[in-house]
Amino acid sequence: DIQMTQSPSTLSASVGDRVTITCRASQSISIWLAWYQQKPGKAPKSLIYKASSLETGVPSRFSGSGSGTEFTLTISSLQPDDFATYYCQQYTSYPWTFGQGTKVEIK
Amino acid sequence: EVQLLESGGGLVQPGGSLRLSCAASGFTFSNFAMSWVRQAPGKGLEWVSATGGKGDSTYYADSVKGRFTISRDNSKNTLYLQMNSLRADDTAVYYCAKDRGQLRGNFDYWGQGTLVTVSS
């Protein structure tokens, strides 16, 4: 199975900050990586797919980059609505696997 | 508007069975693969199972293989997950998720989830 490791596990930031979350795969997954946002008690929401493609309707302050084994999700200017947990997911091979999550908290 | 509505969750004893349903609307159901993804209380996301648009291709996580069966009825726009021999570690919120295509493994829409609790 491909292991996905996110860092940090928790991130404290202020509104307006630039935030970067890293996701590393245990083997190359090319660009087959997605990012999801989840708020407490809610379903995950798709943000980014194919490593850098922005989901329709997602604000442009979100961006993704990377290929192979190292990927990043960047929020260019953190907004109040962005405080949530973020998950990466690889979909290059079964079983499709998720990172453990990164919780973005208010500083 | 794409909508996915899960049902069928509840409290079940260890060793018991449960069938989850996911009613889909707002898209041509048979054109897209579907998956079940679960989340144990306070934990992360775990992909459970997937099926292709026609239902003839199915895939499972090792943790549920042989105990869970995914199926779909395209005439009813409904996805199912039959869960047998349930264990305490199957306790989770179960989400159905729409694939972006045919078993691409990328989920563009998710249901609100249904809670399954396995306990005596």
The verdict on a CB contact (< 8 Å) between A96 and B100 is: no
pLDDT of residue B17: 98
Q: Write the burial class of residue A83 (CB in 10 Å: 0-12 exposed, 13-18 middle, 19+ buried).
A: middle
The helix (H) or strand (E) run that includes residue B49 is strand B45-51
* Residues of chain B found within 8 Å of residue A50, distances taken between Cβ atoms: 106
Nearest-Cα distance to chain A for B22, in Å, is 14
pLDDT at position B20 over 90: yes
Provide the token pair at A88: 């990466």
pLDDT of residue A32: 97
Provide the token pair at B116: 């399954």
The verdict on a CB contact (< 8 Å) between B111 and A45 is: no
Confidence of residue B104 (pLDDT cuts 50, 70, 90): confident
- Cβ-Cβ contacts under 8 Å for B91 (sequence gap 6 or more): B40, B41, B116, B117, B118, B119
pLDDT at position B31 over 90: yes
pLDDT at position B102 over 90: no
pLDDT of residue A77: 96
Within chain A, which residues score under 50 in pLDDT? Answer: none
Q: Write the burial class of residue A14 (CB in 10 Å: 0-12 exposed, 13-18 middle, 19+ buried).
A: exposed
The helix (H) or strand (E) run that includes residue A87 is strand A85-90
Interval A24-52: pLDDT, tens: 999 999 999 999 999 999 999 999 999 99
The verdict on a CB contact (< 8 Å) between B45 and A87 is: yes
B94 touching chain A per CB within 8 A: no
The verdict on a CB contact (< 8 Å) between B110 and A43 is: yes
pLDDT of residue B103: 83
Of B59, B104, B113, the CB nearest to A43: B113
Query: Edge-to-edge strands of the sheet including A19-25?
Result: A4-7, A19-25, A70-75, A62-67
Interval B38-87: pLDDT, tens: 999 999 999 999 999 999 999 999 999 999 999 999 999 999 999 999 99
Computed from CA positions of residues A17, A30, B44, A57, in that sequence, does the dihedral angle turn out positive or negative?
positive
Percentage helix, strand, coil, to 5, in chain B? 5, 50, 45
